[in-house]
Amino acid sequence: MEATRATQAAKANQANQANHVKKQSLLWKNLKRYRALFLMIIPGMIYLIINNYLPMFGVIIAFKDINYAKGILGSDWIGFKNFEYLFKTADAWIITRNTILYNGSFIIINTVMAIGVAILLNEVKKKLASRFYQSVILLPYLISMVVVGYLGLSMMNVESGFINKQILPLLGIDPISWYAESKFWPYILTLVNIWKNVGYLCIIYLASIIGIDNEYYEAATIDGANKWQQIRSITVPLIMPTIVIMTLLAIGRIFYSDFGLFYQVPLNSGPLQPTTDVIDTYVYRGLMTLGDIGMSSAAGLYQSVVGFVLVLVANYVVSRKNRDQALF
């Protein structure tokens, strides 16, 4: 009996060794066969490691009182004291509220408008006209926020701005000091964000819509469905995976704000800060004033962790409703 078991164990061991040798041989064959592709991957992998993974070592800065003479590793460990900069300040509630409300509204409004514009562009059948409209819509996304800030200044300057000099007199309204009146800026920032970012999202959704088989629309037309019914019953359901993915990615960055939008466009105007100040701009001002990179690192880590948790929660909710549309 023991001899039989020993024989079976030996055979199993030989089979495992043979499989291991076979896998190694197959691996080397694939490496040799696709060596050109693997060589092409190397520069991208090196860039990814240097740009994305090595900087993760800097996470420890959030828990240290950085002393440049001692270096990062030699600086004193202070635990979570750097995080008190965000949570114990009187402005913590304001900047957190602004960050979440602005980004939440941007996600909803940009998604709806981008889908609408993509559907309209899909109805343009002339190829040249379609390419022209796509280029015009995408152009604002490629413009630097510094340029956008000065474009806004040319429109809203109190003395020589286009709105104060040309538009408001026609309406019988006195000139407005735009950079001193905070009540207008939630709408201004939302409009600027829509103008700048809808084009990028629109191209993504347009690519998804173009991929839909025309037979669906032809069958719906034969059944008497109008355009609205086709959009509601065919277009939106079929591009829903793309919508879900883009929304999940946006939710992951809901605690990150477009620094240029909230700093360059309002031109860092003091009276506007209660309305335009978000976590990124607040940390930047704190860094420029105090020069404490530990506090800034703590804020960045806080944003990353919260964003990661939000992605997990949002993805879990999506997976509960439709597993195929979840990220993982």
**Contacts of 146 by beta carbon, 8 Å cutoff, 6+ apart:** 260, 264
36 and 123 housed in the same domain? no
User: What whole-number distance in Å separates Cα of residue 261 and Cα of residue 143?
Assistant: 12
17 and 118 housed in the same domain? no
52 occurs within a structural domain: yes
130 occurs within a structural domain: yes
- The mean pLDDT of 81-108, rounded to a whole number, is 85
DSSP secondary structure of 160-198? T-HIIIIIHHHHT-----TTT-GGGHHHHHHHHHHHHHH
Tokens standing for residue 252: 């992951």
Helices 293-321 and 236-252, axial angle in degrees (round to 10)? 150
68 occurs within a structural domain: no
103 and 183 housed in the same domain? yes
18 and 108 housed in the same domain? no
Confirm if 116 and 236 have CB atoms less than 8 A apart: no
Span 128-153, pLDDT tens digits: 988 899 899 999 999 999 999 999 99
Span 216-227, pLDDT tens digits: 998 999 988 898
pLDDT of 20 higher than 70:
no
193 and 45 housed in the same domain? no
Confidence (pLDDT) at 3: 55
Tokens standing for residue 11: 């055979």
Question: What backbone torsions phi and psi does residue 179 show, to the nearest 5 degrees?
Answer: -85, 10
Q: The pTM is what?
A: 0.80
User: What whole-number distance in Å separates Cα of residue 284 and Cα of residue 265?
Assistant: 15
Which residue is it, tokens 């976590």?
279
Half-sphere exposure (CA, 13 Å, Cβ side) for 31? Answer: 6
34 occurs within a structural domain: yes
pLDDT of 191 higher than 90:
yes
Cα angle: 283, vertex 288, 291; to 5 degrees: 95
211 and 149 housed in the same domain? yes
The helix (H) or strand (E) run that includes residue 314 is helix 293-321
143 and 275 housed in the same domain? yes
Confidence (pLDDT) at 312: 87
- The mean pLDDT of 31-59, rounded to a whole number, is 88
16 and 87 housed in the same domain? no
**Contacts of 133 by beta carbon, 8 Å cutoff, 6+ apart:** 121, 124
The helix (H) or strand (E) run that includes residue 65 is strand 64-67
Query: What domain range is 56 assigned to?
Result: 2-61
Q: Is 151 exposed, middle or buried (0-12, 13-18, 19+ CB in 10 A)?
A: middle
User: What whole-number distance in Å separates Cα of residue 162 and Cα of residue 168?
Assistant: 9
76 occurs within a structural domain: no
313 occurs within a structural domain: yes
Number of domains in the chain: 2
119 and 163 housed in the same domain? yes
57 and 142 housed in the same domain? no
Confidence (pLDDT) at 189: 94
26 and 134 housed in the same domain? no
268 and 203 housed in the same domain? yes
Span 148-163, pLDDT tens digits: 999 999 999 888 889 9
DSSP 8-state assignment for residue 53: I
